[in-house]
Chains A and B, each alone.
Chain A
Amino acid sequence: MASADPVDATNPDAVKRTDLAQVPPARRPARREKSVVERAVSEALASGLLTFFVLLPLVGFHATESGTGSLVLDYRFGLVAVFALMVTAGRLVLNLTVWRGDGPRRSAARVPPKSVAEAEAVASPWPRLGAVASALVKPVFFGLAIAYPLIAVTLVGGLGPSRYWIDIGIYILTYVMLGWGLNIVVGLAGLLDLGYVAFYAVGAYTFALLSTSVPINDFLAGHLGEGFWTAWSFWVCLPVSGILAAFWGVILGFPVLRLRGDYLAIVTLAFGEIIRLVLINWVSLTNGGAGIASIPAISFFGIPFSSGEGGFAHMFGLPFDSMHRMIFLYFVILGLAALTALVTVRLRKMPVGRAWEALREDEIACRSLGINTTLTKLTAFAIGAMFGGFAGAFFAVRIRFVSPESFTFMESAVILAIVVLGGMGSQMGVAAAAILLIGGMEMLRNLSFLKNEWLFGPNFDPTLYRMLIFGFAMVAVMVWRPRGLVANRMPTIFLKQRKSVSGSLVKEGHG
């Protein structure tokens, strides 16, 4: 068997690694540390072998259709060995980290903490880390985001080749912004909204319809000059998109005022689908499933990104490059996302923001304090929807084509996943989750080494496994950090010093 070699070959290696990791000064400590290291290795070996034999018939033999139509048997023992190796390594790592020691696994390490302070310290190492770095995290993050195009262009070498990286940056920032927008509704106000994509769609279609509208174009051409609408439509329509989306947020908000939790989720889910179905079926307005094309491109505040006279490059004395528009788009979405974050931070300190958080915590207590819960919920829906509308208008001007297919439930689910994985209510967490999920899924496209002949073969497409990996990531985060990546909540007001509070002391589902 060809496969036996890699397994055997790597195991001594693995033992060596663990030796070094465990007790660096002693050269051969494995004998003495029988209980931990040796058991870990033997268990890992056993798991690897088991995996190998189980997968041998399942994965090792592969029937493919040859050119003439007859079936040809393929052998993929290398792949089986790779799987076995992955299991061995994974088991080893788990044995040495999470599953250490005897007795009941996992629970052994977690002795119930005694005091509250101890509990906070034990349950989450983040506050201690955060105390050091929290002052730096946000400026660094924002600085990196601003410098990102420059970094990308420098590293890749030239404007043209950096297109892919700028594109990913725009893509991720769109989701950061959507996540922050939904965070207002779900994270702060505690209203589970599964139809957020509806507002995204409203924003996108508002901009698409208005900017391609012939009557508006003709009217403005008569008054403000030819080409005015093409140049300025985005900047005029952006607020309109936000306002219309907010309006639809209120429309959705009214019937669901009395609902909470699961019931609210189902109604909002239906709302998202209704908007999509209307977009498909109202052909006379939206052109149905064919979508709306030839949306005018973004302009630099009225100056088009064109090669000719009067274009952006000409005005600023630069050589023309189509990447100028991309980089400008990047800064537009960065600005929009920053606006979302700033507004949220400001609102959290204002009565309405605090009322949102109080509403999430306890609706009855809110009412007993004289808070108008109706108004509070509607403002949360409206403001969350408004940012969704902004993001939608941006989406339309970036792609320059909208169709109902872009606004499926999957989009809502991804945005909600970003908010939940990031830690509800935490802005940095949401940003981190967006980078991880969207950027990570995008990075899967680049794993071309997986297409090696001995591994998965040239027909293997890693992107097909995106959803699988996505699911695994969600399960993993929810197992290890059940309240999201950043589970702490910073009080908006404080007496002497700001002290972050851990999420692990409050029951799940409450943050």
Chain B
Amino acid sequence: MIATTGATSPATPAAPAAAPVRPPLLKVEGVTAFYGNIIALKGVDIEVNEGEIVTLIGANGAGKSTLMMTICGAPRARDGRVIYDGQDITRLPTHEIMRMRIAQSPEGRRIFPRMSVYENLQMGAALDGGAHFQEDLAAMFELFPRLKERVSQRGGTLSGGEQQMLSIARALMGRPRLLLLDEPSLGLAPLVARQIFDVIRALNAERGLTVFLVEQNAFHALKLAHRGYVMVNGLVTMSGTGADLLARPEVRAAYLEGGR
């Protein structure tokens, strides 16, 4: 089932090759999660190596976002373990997990609507103590020139794409090693969604940022990612390189043709 990871796919630019010797940056082992009595994750195993873009695709209600939230500790995993950088973070409180240089751009962007773009970005750097604030701010404005134009505007008045940029920029302000992105293309025009994906690719290629991406837009996500997982009803059913998954007839039938 698992294709060779070494085969470079033409869709992805030269990224730092994941060193197989090192343990994965993020490892999810047999994690189950419940909402009350309803099971949402039925024992999920996922690995994200340092420097990789890994995507998780699946239909509505498959448990993609739940897995992302479970990594962050809300809802907490009932069984199994979440290991980040060799450390078991399964039982840590959310805010402590988020302080281990894991950043998240949550589903629905969730920027602070009444705060200005500038303040939003500063919230992202709040834990950093503000030591590199100006430097990081300049980097964000270079990455997203639109945000610079809108710097004193209220977050809630931005367009959807700008809000997504702000959400990602805010997450990056904490200088993360691992970026968790939950449906960054949700509700965006295709062109804007492509811009966002381009930024993610650039972040990975230029800075070596590790990205774990949850997406419904399977085609773009798999083209972007080094590796991918497919989730159905709380279980990972397939995994492989992005190109490999894209070529599979099951994936094409379920997530691409007609769905695109």
Query: A368's closest neighbor in chain B, by CB?
Result: B104
Pick the contact of A501 from B97, B110, B114, B174 — CB < 8 Å?
B114
B197 within 8 A of A: no
Given A491-B152, A492-B119, do A369 and B113 touch, yes or no (CB 8 Å)? no
Q: How far is the CA of A511 from the CA of B94 in the complex (A)?
A: 27
Judge whether A365 and B106 touch: CB under 8 Å: yes
Pick the contact of A365 from B97, B110, B154 — CB < 8 Å?
B110
A489 within 8 A of B: yes
Judge whether A367 and B112 touch: CB under 8 Å: no
Judge whether B157 and A116 touch: CB under 8 Å: yes
Judge whether B74 and A506 touch: CB under 8 Å: no
Q: Which of A361, A370, A489 has the most CB of B within 10 A?
A: A370
Q: How far is the CA of A501 from the CA of B154 in the complex (A)?
A: 7
- By a CB distance below 8 angstroms, the chain A residues around B104 are 368
A193 within 8 A of B: no
Judge whether B127 and A369 touch: CB under 8 Å: yes
Query: B170's closest neighbor in chain A, by CB?
Result: A369
Interface positions, chain A 439-463, Cβ under 8 Å from B, are: none
Given A367-B95, A371-B126, do A362 and B152 touch, yes or no (CB 8 Å)? no
Query: B158's closest neighbor in chain A, by CB?
Result: A116
Query: A366's closest neighbor in chain B, by CB?
Result: B123
Judge whether A364 and B115 touch: CB under 8 Å: no
A154 within 8 A of B: no
Judge whether A365 and B126 touch: CB under 8 Å: no
Judge whether A116 and B74 touch: CB under 8 Å: no
A351 within 8 A of B: yes
Judge whether B119 and A354 touch: CB under 8 Å: yes
A22 within 8 A of B: no
Given A368-B98, A370-B99, A372-B95, do A489 and B106 touch, yes or no (CB 8 Å)? no
Query: B93's closest neighbor in chain A, by CB?
Result: A372
Interface positions, chain A 304-363, Cβ under 8 Å from B, are: 351, 354-355, 357-358, 360-362
Q: How far is the CA of A371 from the CA of B99 in the complex (A)?
A: 9
CB distance from B201 to the nearest CB of A (A): 23
Judge whether A362 and B112 touch: CB under 8 Å: yes
Given A369-B123, A501-B154, do A491 and B95 touch, yes or no (CB 8 Å)? no
Q: How far is the CA of A36 from the CA of B182 in the complex (A)?
A: 56
A58 within 8 A of B: no
- By a CB distance below 8 angstroms, the chain B residues around A372 are 93, 95
- By a CB distance below 8 angstroms, the chain A residues around B115 are 357-358, 361, 491
Q: How far is the CA of A309 from the CA of B127 in the complex (A)?
A: 59
A224 within 8 A of B: no
Q: How far is the CA of A354 from the CA of B116 in the complex (A)?
A: 12
Judge whether A506 and B156 touch: CB under 8 Å: yes
Pick the contact of B123 from A354, A495, A506, A510 — CB < 8 Å?
A354
Query: B152's closest neighbor in chain A, by CB?
Result: A499
Q: How far is the CA of A489 from the CA of B122 in the complex (A)?
A: 17
CB distance from A326 to the nearest CB of B (A): 41
A155 within 8 A of B: no
Interface positions, chain B 156-176, Cβ under 8 Å from A, are: 156-157, 170-171, 174
- By a CB distance below 8 angstroms, the chain B residues around A373 are 95
Judge whether B122 and A368 touch: CB under 8 Å: no
A478 within 8 A of B: no
B111 within 8 A of A: yes
Pick the contact of A367 from B94, B118, B119 — CB < 8 Å?
B94
Query: B123's closest neighbor in chain A, by CB?
Result: A358
A71 within 8 A of B: no
Interface string of A281-321 (1 = CB under 8 A from B): 00000000000000000000000000000000000000000
Judge whether A506 and B118 touch: CB under 8 Å: no
Query: B182's closest neighbor in chain A, by CB?
Result: A368
- By a CB distance below 8 angstroms, the chain B residues around A491 are 115-116, 118-119, 152
A137 within 8 A of B: no
A480 within 8 A of B: no
Judge whether B154 and A354 touch: CB under 8 Å: no
Pick the contact of B110 from A116, A355, A364 — CB < 8 Å?
A364
Q: How far is the CA of A365 from the CA of B124 in the complex (A)?
A: 10
CB distance from B95 to the nearest CB of A (A): 4
- By a CB distance below 8 angstroms, the chain B residues around A493 are 118-119, 122
CB distance from B174 to the nearest CB of A (A): 7
Interface string of B90-102 (1 = CB under 8 A from A): 0001111111000
Judge whether A365 and B111 touch: CB under 8 Å: yes
- By a CB distance below 8 angstroms, the chain A residues around B95 are 367, 370-373
- By a CB distance below 8 angstroms, the chain B residues around A365 are 106, 110-112
- By a CB distance below 8 angstroms, the chain B residues around A497 are 152
Q: Which of B93, B105, B122, B152 has the most CB of A within 10 A?
A: B152
Given A365-B111, A493-B122, do A370 and B116 touch, yes or no (CB 8 Å)? no
- By a CB distance below 8 angstroms, the chain A residues around B103 are 368-369
Query: B104's closest neighbor in chain A, by CB?
Result: A368
- By a CB distance below 8 angstroms, the chain A residues around B126 are 351, 354-355, 369-371
Judge whether A357 and B112 touch: CB under 8 Å: yes
B151 within 8 A of A: yes
Query: A424's closest neighbor in chain B, by CB?
Result: B114
Query: A376's closest neighbor in chain B, by CB?
Result: B95
- By a CB distance below 8 angstroms, the chain A residues around B106 are 364-365, 368
14 contacts between A and B (CB under 8 A): A354-B119, A357-B115, A360-B114, A361-B114, A361-B115, A364-B106, A365-B112, A367-B72, A369-B127, A370-B97, A370-B174, A372-B95, A493-B122, A510-B113
Interface residues of A (CB under 8 A from B): 116, 351, 354-355, 357-358, 360-362, 364-365, 367-373, 489, 491-497, 499, 501, 503, 505-506, 510-511
Interface residues of B (CB under 8 A from A): 72, 74, 93-99, 103-106, 110-116, 118-119, 122-124, 126-127, 151-154, 156-157, 170-171, 174
List 13 extra interface pairs beyond A365-B111, A371-B95, A495-B118, CB under 8 A: A116-B153, A116-B157, A358-B112, A362-B110, A367-B98, A368-B110, A368-B171, A369-B98, A369-B171, A489-B114, A491-B116, A496-B152, A505-B157
Which 6 residue pairs of A and B lie closest in terms of their CB atoms, listed nearest first?
A: A370-B98, A365-B110, A361-B112, A368-B104, A372-B95, A370-B99
